Amino acid sequence: MSTYVITVPGTFVRGVSESVCSDVGRRLRPRDPRNTDLGESEELSLLTVDEGGMFAARVEVEAADRSGAEAEAVRLVAQALRDSGLGEDEAPLGAAIVTGIDSEF
């Protein structure tokens, strides 16, 4: 198993309030990439939102391979968005991207 830092991009189609962003961030907090060496050294933010509504969520996941890590990250971010009251049509997600890997041998 390896620890991956995965970036999941998306867009808040109709904009989003600061309170909803805070709620999404709170729900993702246990997966904060700052808990990893990479996340700490690169000062990765858990959730960043641009003025146009585009966002990037960065999460830490344990997985056997890259595709498993990407799928788990998308699942976690989608769940946090749903639990914060946002449907798939209000905050569609893009393809997940591996930001970093910490393999244990």
Q: How far apart are CA 32 and CA 26, in angstroms?
A: 10
What pLDDT, on the 0 to 100 scale, is given for residue 42? 58
What pLDDT, on the 0 to 100 scale, is given for residue 32? 76
pLDDT-wise least confident of 8-17, 29-38, 56-65: 29-38
What pLDDT, on the 0 to 100 scale, is given for residue 38? 56
List pLDDT tens digits, range 42-100: 567 889 999 889 999 999 999 999 999 999 999 999 999 999 999 999 999 999 999 88
Which residue in the block uniquely carries the two structure tokens 């830490």? 60
Mean of the pLDDT values across residues 6-31? 92
Which residue in the block uniquely carries the two structure tokens 């808040």? 12
**What DSSP state is assigned to residue 13?**
T
Query: Which residues, in sequence order, are CB contacts of 91 under 8 Å at separation 6+?
Result: 10, 11, 12, 13, 16, 55, 81
At residue 3, what are phi and psi to the nearest 5 degrees?
Answer: -95, 125
Mean of the pLDDT values across residues 4-28? 93
Between 69 and 38, where is the model more confident?
A: 69
